[in-house]
Chain A
Amino acid sequence: MTGLMPNAGHVARREYLVRVRGRTFRITTLLLAVAVLVFTLLPTLLRGAGVTGDPPQIALDVQADDLASDPVAAIRDALAASGAAGPLVTRAEDPSDAADAVRGGSLDGLLTISRGPDGDLTFEYLSSQGPASVERLLVTQAATSLAVSDRLAAAGIDSAQSAVLFRPPAFVSTSADPDAPDDDRYGEALVVAYFLVILTFMAIITYGNWVAQSVAEEKSNRVMELLITAATPQQLLTGKVLGTGAAGLTQYAAIIAAVAVGMIANGPVSNLLGLRGEAAFRLPSLELWMLPAFAVFFTLGFVLYSTLYAASGSMVSRIEDVQQAAGPLIFVSIAGYFVSFTALNDADAGWVALLSLVPFFSPYLMPMRMLLTSVSAPEILVALGILVVTLVAAIWLASRIYSAGVLMYGQRVGVRTLLRAARVSR
């Protein structure tokens, strides 16, 4: 058997250039990048839009006059905490005028505070907005704390004492495992894990499918017979997977660049819009060795799937039949994706640890576990070893199927027919 190079390189180069030069590729890449950029900036932009609109105006009709704390200040502070600048909270001079103003839309809400027959505070809120509005939620919260401090005052506890009562305790949590991720960065680790799972899944589903399409295309326009005469199936298969993979990575680079631009731009944009600073997204505390590990799992996973996609593409004669032939593969990759989403909520579970060793799932699950829990080095190496062995077997199988499949036309090619034909082809 001849070596893979330089022919695999020639095939990869052609595959990459044809893919990247294509109009579809350019348009989808541009659209994806723009979409991702918009999504990253969207929360900031929406908040900005909320601020540049009218500040919320709420009127209070306080019928209970012996309140322990100032209701105007309490409601204003609660609304201001959401980032909305300059909420206007006033006492209504004429409650029925205020109610009309709310109905007419010139006022956002009217909160009536009165004392019930049992001595407890009761609230009625007339709002110009629906039940899902943030404002209403915040007013409810402020009302709750008003009611609580009122009850405390009734029980003889003054406001200074109640402030002490509601102060959060000193709570320090330490994990027995020194490698466990920091508690305060867990949310960010989860976001990154999400991101990795989605990236892996999209790469397999999209770019794997490209490989299958491209093989089927060469078969349907009959270039395959020329190619197979000039190069070995292994060279063609490798070149195809590498070239398509490189094109996929190019698209990913554009998307990731858009995310980075979006995240960097978030600061200046929110300053520009006059938003009060909110904690910016921080990367979770990663150990540096994790990055190449992610890259290795991602690459091996992609190569494993797309090699098999290539084989399935070689089993059909027309591009329309690719989806059907790739059905089992699509099923497995979607299964891996869903399993990972379940696992995200339960990363420490035993079944997750077990599945993270299984070859078709490990590219999804192992990076996720590394982020969310502590994984021992031997465990990672075992998963990697199993993945590599599977990959070698898959390449062997795929190039057999490929070399037999590429010359079969017209008939429905079953796996049995292929394997029989594969025994005698080069």
Chain B
Amino acid sequence: MSLVVDRVSKRFGSVLALDDASFSVEAGAIFGLLGANGAGKTTCMRIVLDILRPDSGSVTWNGQPNTALPRRTWGYLPEERGLYPKMRVEEQLRFLASLYGVSDADARREITDWLERFRIPDYRNRKVEELSKGNQQKIQFIAAILHDPDILIMDEPFSGLDPLNVRLLKEAFLAMRERGKTLIFSTHQMETVEELCEAIAIIDRGRVVLHGLVRDVKRAMGRRVVRLATDGDGAFLAELEKLDALRGLTVGARRADFVELQLPADLDPETILRAALERGQRITRFEIAEPSLEEIFVEHVGRRAIDEEEGHLATSAGGGDIE
């Protein structure tokens, strides 16, 4: 039981949006699709949804090609949110559900249920344009799941939500997984991925540069991280780097109240603890961790993508292009 994207390529004019991309998602998992803007995430999602056909490659769900699957297999939350602004919430949702063949009675029941879950039961008969952005997004999410799809694909579901609504949406994610659904979403918020996803794929310029279980991905990085905080000014840290016993250690940038040390895989973290104690330091924090997804992402996609992204964000006030 899994979704398999197999060697998918797609070209738009001179741009190779997807280049031989492959990854798989276990049924019932929450899966993170990561990549800088313009990396090919949206194209990938559209191809999985079969609203775009790839130039080559295939997508299968439990061995069946996606082109043969009924439409109601899929739930989709597009990056560009879109609802009919002048239609009332319930009427709109019932219309969208009817396209998936959901009976009106079922649709009404589910709408009631979800509006309550999102704490907006009074908005049933309001026009969408009268709702706040966050609430419109909740309606958009309900629109994506009313027909009870097996696979839910969401493009940046958390963008533009306040922390309270982020929490509500995360709860909804978990509720969907309880029901045995498979969830795939893209985001730039790495903490969210760490919190929710079992597995990820990182796409860079159309290529899948990394994919697998989050745990395996972190182990495969071949190093660990020690977060260390002491009473003193931390001058001893410079000495640590020079010790033979700690060869390969790099001292990262100073954070708010701790320092992150990168360790090669063969270095025992306790050596650091001992070395620090030997230099008379009072340790207030010592934490052995795996590298964060953010570090992994930066390492694989590189500074280039981040620079480009910042440039992109600064200039992309208007409409995007076909990603």
Contacts and interface: CB of A to CB of B under 8 A. Distances in A.
Contacts, number: 79
B61 interface: no
Interface in B63-99: 67, 71, 74, 76, 78, 80-87, 95-96, 98-99
Interface in A205-256: 218, 221-231
Nearest to B97: A230
B81 A410 contact: no
- Chain B, interface size category, equals 35 or more
A18 interface: yes
9 contacts: A18-B87, A225-B82, A229-B51, A229-B74, A230-B96, A407-B322, A417-B13, A425-B52, A426-B67
A272 interface: no
B84 A409 contact: no
A425 B46 CA distance: 11
B55 interface: yes
A173 to B, nearest CB: 61
A221 B319 contact: no
A223 B50 contact: no
A408 interface: yes
Contacts of B53: 424-426
Contacts of B99: 7, 10-11, 227, 230-231
B319 A409 contact: yes
Given A230-B99, A230-B100, A409 B52 contact: no
Given A225-B76, A230-B96, 7 more contacts: A218-B84, A225-B82, A230-B100, A424-B53, A425-B53, A426-B50, A426-B53
Nearest to A11: B99
B76 A226 contact: yes
A417 B14 CA distance: 12
Contact of B80 (A10, A225, A408): A225
B321 interface: yes
- Chain A, interface size category, equals 20 to 34
Q: Identify the interface centre among B84, B87, B101: most chain A CB within 10 Å of its CB.
A: B84
B71 A222 contact: no
Nearest to B322: A408
Given A10-B95, A223-B83, A425-B52, A229 B321 contact: no
B49 interface: yes
Contacts of A229: 49, 51, 71, 74, 76
A407 B51 contact: yes
A223 B54 CA distance: 23
B100 A410 contact: no
Interface of A: 2, 6-7, 10-11, 14, 18, 218, 221-231, 317, 407-411, 417, 421, 424-426
B163 interface: no
B101 to A, nearest CB: 8
A229 B152 CA distance: 12
Given A7-B99, A10-B99, A18-B87, A222 B81 contact: yes
Given A230-B100, A231-B99, A426-B67, A409 B320 contact: yes
Given A424-B53, A426-B51, A426-B53, A407 B46 contact: yes
A11 B99 CA distance: 8
A423 B105 CA distance: 39
A231 B78 contact: no
B322 A226 contact: no
Contacts of B84: 18, 218, 221, 223
A10 B97 CA distance: 10
Q: Identify the interface centre among A11, A229, A409: most chain B CB within 10 Å of its CB.
A: A229
Q: Identify the interface centre among B50, B85, B99: most chain A CB within 10 Å of its CB.
A: B99
A222 B49 contact: no
Nearest to A225: B78
Q: List the 10 shortest-distance A-B pairs measured between CB atoms, nearest first.
A: A222-B82, A230-B99, A225-B78, A223-B82, A424-B53, A222-B80, A229-B76, A10-B98, A410-B319, A410-B321
B143 interface: yes
Nearest to A224: B82
Contacts of A218: 84
A226 B51 contact: no
A100 B4 CA distance: 103
A10 B51 CA distance: 20
Contacts of A411: 321-322
Interface in B290-323: 318-322
Contacts of A228: 51
Q: Identify the interface centre among A2, A18, A221, A230: most chain B CB within 10 Å of its CB.
A: A230
Given A408-B322, A424-B55, A426-B67, A221 B96 contact: no
A115 B298 CA distance: 114
Contacts of A421: 12
A79 B257 CA distance: 109
B76 A409 contact: no
A223 B139 CA distance: 13
B71 A221 contact: no
Given A221-B84, A409-B320, A410-B321, A226 B49 contact: no
A411 B12 CA distance: 12
Contacts of B318: 410
A231 B71 contact: yes
A14 B97 CA distance: 13
Nearest to A424: B53
A226 B74 CA distance: 11
B223 to A, nearest CB: 41
Contacts of A407: 46, 51-52, 322
A384 B226 CA distance: 80
A317 B322 CA distance: 12
A410 B320 contact: yes
Interface in B94-123: 95-96, 98-101
B74 A317 contact: no
A182 to B, nearest CB: 52
B51 to A, nearest CB: 5
A56 to B, nearest CB: 58
Nearest to B67: A426
A224 B78 CA distance: 10
B319 A317 contact: yes
A371 B99 CA distance: 44
Contacts of A231: 71, 99
B131 to A, nearest CB: 14
A6 B52 CA distance: 23
Contacts of A230: 71, 96, 99-100
A221 B85 contact: yes
Contacts of A18: 84, 86-87
A410 B321 CA distance: 6
B322 A14 contact: no
Interface string B254-289: 000000000000000000000000000000000000
